[in-house]
Amino acid sequence: MSRLDDMIGRLRAAFPDNDSIHTSVDLASITVSPADLPTVALMLRDDPALSFKQLSDLCGVDYATYGQDEWNTETAGTASFSRAVDASSVGRLSFGSEFELPDIGRARFVVVSHLLSLDHGVRLRLRCDAPDDAMPVVPSLTTVWANADWYEREAFDLFGILFDGHPDLRRILTDYGFVGHPFRKDFPLVGNVEMRYDPVKGRVVYEPVSIEPRVLVPRVIRDDARYVSGAVEEEATAAAKAGQSAA
Amino acid sequence: MPEIRNYTLNFGPQHPAAHGVLRLVLEMDGEVVERADPHIGLLHRGTEKLAESKPYNQTIGYMDRLDYVSMMCNEHGYVMAIEKLLGVEVPVRAQYIRVMFDEITRILNHLMWLGAHGLDIGAMSMFLYCFREREDLMDCYEAVSGARLHATYYRPGGVARDLPDRMPQYEANRFRSAAQVKKQNAAREGSMLDFIEDFTNRFPGCVDEYETLLTDNRIWKQRTVGIGVVSPERALQLGFTGPMLRGSNTEWDLRKTEPYEVYDQLDFDIPVGINGDSYDRYLVRVEEMRQSNRIIKQCIDWLRVNSGPVLTEDHKVAPPRRSEMKGDMEALIHHFKLFTEGFSLPEGESYAAVEHPKGEFGCYLISDGANKPYRLKVRAAGFAHLAALDEMARGHMLSDVVALIGTQDIVFGEVDR
């Protein structure tokens, strides 16, 4: 892991004002604001000490229902399974059902990129929060890494995140004429429309979905001690040690 | 004199050389491609969204269906992302089994690629040769998991079960005589490892056969040399990985540079191309098959002499043995909780990348502490490669587009996800 520690040090030296640089499991992580993103990305690519020449991946994340579960695990109840499950989660939405998004107190849409430095053999996670939930706009990285093009089209298609400066922001994965952004947490898992061939009209027609939502296993968050993994414990002890040595 | 105009050509989605469901809108100047605009998503099934509504273990089967010609490598990336967050130890024997099946999968994938690529640009008989060897490897898949394609064999913490002691055998019927069947079963008398060993002894000769047909073939060279040349710098910019990057003279292989499982204890070489054209990528992939064969041999030798568990003993993650469940209350509870609710991952994010036959297959997993992923993003190698088709095809003839789709080794299961 020394390669990673080296890189963390170099990142801290390159971006002294950024306090979000940390190790996440086995790669470095940094969060930047949309305004800083273009300059930071250029530096990450061109600075020989960093040299993140390749963009491995770029994706959108919708944090709207982060940390929400469907089953109360703290107390035991007498309610049966079906009553215990909260029916408001995205997997259980059907056509036309209203879904109230909770206030999460943070940016809803985040663009996460994974960068690779072949020279140093390290990966970096570059996070950028989109400031406005209703109209999420983030600067495009297409001028820095050419393959950001399709990844950004995908994030636009699936999440509705707009990329400022993208040369050709079209939908990529969904159908021609698709409405909505399917990977958002308020988009039903079963979708909104289904299509079939209508022999009377002699063409393909779109209709509201007829399938029932069918998610069988409830979403359960357990934070008991038994689920604390070795890696997390190690991280905690390492953090404690670092705290001691700093003191 | 009539005005000469560019015209637009629709290639696919129902075209045998489109490798599935690629719709390519080509702007042509005569027979020269001016611009290529791939329209993808015709096979989009929303795998990542489906994963968000299922316990972790139920998504392993969906991973097979991403790149459906290299199934177990997809599973590998996914279970590695879970293992990283969970911090669970994988037994050494399971690591060797995984490496062995990763390499079997690599040969499977490259055989499929070689057959289809050959068929696309005129080498008809390649397809038949390649499928002959694929059949044996498919039988290995079937013997170990019960399924020839969608194995669902890897688990977080190991693999589903140990290698079988005997290979399934052919039976005589009215179409196959007993003498014929005896010949077919000759390599299947022993254990599965015996069968794979027999295969690894035969396979280099088979690769020689393919090379005899193609490597110095004048037509093959005319169709591939100098087609789709990508410089090393450009390959990095375009996000190329795997044989596409190595064909462009960049030595980068996750099995060497970020060794996972037991790759650091195995002896193998990384082939690298020089010119970055389709012919070099062909040579790289053929050599990779030989190297995979070497790795499989080493795994067989190790697996023969070392026994042990193949799934972690941590029953919060992996189910206890059936026999334990009969007598032990604790084991029964573990089994019940695991199959009704699944296991929860600690809150956090992980990115696991494996050297998939097509390139880097990455799984980005966000967990909020629940028994289902909060977000799963699959980084498919083919997605980045296909995005570069426009750049690679410009200025080439229409028939070279077919060669380019072939050399990129595109499979739409992973591009569209």
Mean pLDDT within B361-385: 91
Q: In the Cβ-directed half-sphere of B98, how many Cα atoms lie within 13 Å? A: 32
- Measured CA to CA in angstroms, residue A117 lies from A45, A49, B347 at distances of 9, 10, 27
Task: Return phi, psi of residue B136, to 5°.
Answer: -65, -40
Q: How far apart are CA B315 and CA B375, in angstroms?
A: 25
- For chain B, give the percent of residues with pLDDT over 70: 99
Tokens 């997390």 found at: A232
- How far does the CA of residue A198 sit from the closest CA of chain B (Å)? 21
Q: How far apart are CA A8 and CA A124, in angstroms?
A: 10
- Please report the sign of the dihedral spanned by the C-alpha atoms of residue B179, residue B181, residue B186, residue B190: negative
Residue A232, pLDDT > 60, answer no
3-class secondary structure for A36-75? CHHHHHHHHHHCCCCCCCEEEEEEEEECCCCCCCCCCCCC
B313 contact partners, CB below 8 Å, separation of at least 6 = none
Give the pLDDT band (50/70/90) at residue A242.
Answer: low
Q: How far apart are CA A37 and CA A43, in angstroms?
A: 10
Q: Is the peptide bond before B168 cis (omega within 30 degrees of 0)?
A: no
From the list B49, B237, B383, the residue facing A183 with the nearest CB is B49
Q: Are B194 and B208 in contact (CB under 8 A)?
A: no
Give the pLDDT score at A104. 77
Give the pLDDT band (50/70/90) at residue A240.
Answer: low
**Smallest CA–CA distance from A54 into chain B, residue:** B236
Question: Does the residue A114 lie in any domain?
Answer: yes
Question: Does the residue A153 lie in any domain?
Answer: yes
Give per-residue pLDDT as tens, B370-380: 889 999 999 99
Give per-residue pLDDT as tens, B12-48: 787 777 777 888 888 888 888 988 999 998 889 889 9
ipTM of the complex: 0.87
Mean pLDDT of chain A: 81
Question: Does the residue A239 lie in any domain?
Answer: no
**Smallest CA–CA distance from B348 into chain A, residue:** A24
Question: Does the residue A242 lie in any domain?
Answer: no
Q: In what order do the strands lie in the sheet with A54-62?
A: A22-24, A27-32, A122-129, A109-117, A54-62
Question: Does the residue A203 lie in any domain?
Answer: yes
Give the pLDDT band (50/70/90) at residue A247.
Answer: very low
Rounded to the nearest 10 degrees, how much is the dihedral formed by the CA atoms of B80, B82, B88, B93?
A: -30
Question: Does the residue A55 lie in any domain?
Answer: yes
Give per-residue pLDDT as tens, B114-168: 999 998 888 888 889 999 889 999 999 999 998 888 989 999 989 998 899 888 8
A170 CB neighbour count, 10 Å cutoff: 10
- For chain A, give the percent of residues with pLDDT over 90: 29
Mean pLDDT within A44-61: 90
Q: How far apart are CA A190 and CA B33, in angstroms?
A: 40
Closest of B291, B296, B295, B298 to residue B243, by C-alpha? B291
Tokens 């799934």 found at: B311
Length of chain B counted residue by residue = 417
- How far does the CA of residue B374 sit from the closest CA of chain A (Å)? 7
- From chain B, the residues in CB contact with A112 under 8 A are 364, 377
* Exposure b/e, A50-79, CB count within 10 A at least 16 = b: bbbbbbbbbbbbbbbbbebbbbeeeeeeee
What the block records as the tokens of A227 is: 């689920």
A202 contact partners, CB below 8 Å, separation of at least 6 = none
Do B384 and A150 count as a contact with CB atoms less than 8 A apart? yes
**A128 lies in which domain range?**
3-65+81-208
Mean pLDDT within B257-269: 90
* Number of Cβ pairs < 8 A linking chain A and chain B: 144
The CATH number of the domain holding residue A103 is 3.30.460.80
Mean pLDDT within B162-176: 88
Q: Which 8-state DSSP code applies to residue B376?
A: E
- How far does the CA of residue A202 sit from the closest CA of chain B (Å)? 21
Q: In chain A, how many H helices and how many E strands?
A: 5, 9
Q: How far apart are CA B56 and CA B145, in angstroms?
A: 19
State the alpha helices, DSSP H only, in B151-228: 178-184, 192-214, 218-224
Give the pLDDT score at A86. 58
Residue B298, pLDDT > 90, answer yes
Do A147 and B379 count as a contact with CB atoms less than 8 A apart? no
Question: Does the residue A86 lie in any domain?
Answer: yes
Closest of B49, B120, B186, B41 to residue B404, by C-alpha? B120
- From chain B, the residues in CB contact with A29 under 8 A are 349
Query: How deeply is B233 buried, as exposed, middle or buried, from its count of CB atoms within 10 A (0-12, 13-18, 19+)?
Result: exposed
Residue A9, pLDDT > 70, answer yes
Do A114 and B341 count as a contact with CB atoms less than 8 A apart? no
Query: How deeply is B307 buried, as exposed, middle or buried, from its count of CB atoms within 10 A (0-12, 13-18, 19+)?
Result: exposed
Give per-residue pLDDT as tens, A179-195: 889 998 888 888 888 88
Q: In the Cβ-directed half-sphere of B405, how many Cα atoms lie within 13 Å? A: 26
Do A217 and B340 count as a contact with CB atoms less than 8 A apart? yes
Give per-residue pLDDT as tens, A109-142: 999 999 999 888 899 999 999 888 888 999 999 9
- What domain count does chain A have? 1
Mean pLDDT within B7-14: 83
B369 contact partners, CB below 8 Å, separation of at least 6 = A67, A221, A222, A223, A227, B344, B345, B346, B347
- How far does the CA of residue A68 sit from the closest CA of chain B (Å)? 8
Angle between helices B278-305 and B192-214 in degrees, nearest 10: 160
Do A112 and B364 count as a contact with CB atoms less than 8 A apart? yes
Question: Does the residue A213 lie in any domain?
Answer: no
A129 contact partners, CB below 8 Å, separation of at least 6 = A31, A33, A34, A106, A107, A109, A110
